[in-house]
């Protein structure tokens, strides 16, 4: 059961790294220093004061960059491969007392996958916002994403099961909206042909 909870923590934190790369690391560092999060062997450095300072500076810089239209799209594009790596590291760092082969397999599949799905969602939202509003709505979207990333990172550590359930609901709603939009395009295309 403890391994499942650790995996849920990793998935929740990894998904938030797709929205803000350094926010989950910052929250992990604070939680580890406060005694709320146990880090696996070799990842104790995340819970150190130097790492906390670096994550805080990086998180603030990243959050500020997302408030500038077009810069947000550039940051998002550059951070896409880093998000997958971050998701893998995050998940591996919270899975304790498990065989290393199984830990890294779970980290790559669950952590990397969750992070990439979060990054894809964020990239689509920013591209859509830039296209529709010419970038005017991007700062508001960035604020919402930042609040979401902070809240989900904290929730992932405090109540990991609830965080994962929330992520599942978001994915299901997203899939439903995507299918609905795709169906509208098909119907609209049929009327244009007739």
For the segment 89-99, the average pLDDT, to the nearest whole number, is 93
Q: CA-to-CA distance for 56 and 50, rounded, in angstroms?
A: 10
Query: Which of the 8 DSSP states describes residue 38?
Result: P
Q: How far is CA 178 from the centre of its chain?
A: 20
For the segment 115-131, the average pLDDT, to the nearest whole number, is 82
For the segment 49-71, the average pLDDT, to the nearest whole number, is 92
Which tokens hold the place of 136? 């005017």
pTM: 0.85
Q: CA-to-CA distance for 183 and 78, rounded, in angstroms?
A: 32
Q: CA-to-CA distance for 94 and 97, rounded, in angstroms?
A: 10
Q: Is the pLDDT of residue 32 over 80?
A: yes
């Amino acid at each position: 059961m403890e391994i499942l909870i650790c995996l849920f923590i990793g998935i929740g934190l990894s998904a938030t790294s797709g929205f803000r790369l350094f926010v989950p690391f910052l929250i992990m560092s604070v939680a580890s220093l406060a005694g709320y999060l146990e880090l696996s062997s070799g990842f104790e450095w995340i819970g150190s004061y130097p790492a906390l300072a670096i994550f805080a500076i990086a998180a603030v810089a990243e959050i500020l960059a997302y408030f500038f239209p077009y810069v947000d799209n550039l940051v998002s594009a550059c951070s896409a491969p880093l998000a997958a790596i971050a998701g893998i590291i995050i998940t591996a760092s919270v899975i304790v007392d498990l065989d290393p082969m199984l830990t890294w397999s779970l980290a790559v599949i669950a952590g990397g996958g969750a992070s990439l799905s979060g990054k894809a969602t964020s990239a689509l939202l920013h591209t859509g916002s830039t296209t529709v509003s010419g970038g005017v709505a991007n700062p508001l979207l960035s604020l919402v994403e930042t609040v979401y990333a902070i809240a989900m990172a904290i929730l992932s550590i405090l109540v990991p099961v609830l965080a994962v359930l929330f992520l599942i609901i978001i994915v299901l709603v997203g899939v439903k909206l995507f299918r609905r939009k795709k169906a509208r395009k098909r119907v609209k295309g049929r009327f244009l042909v007739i």
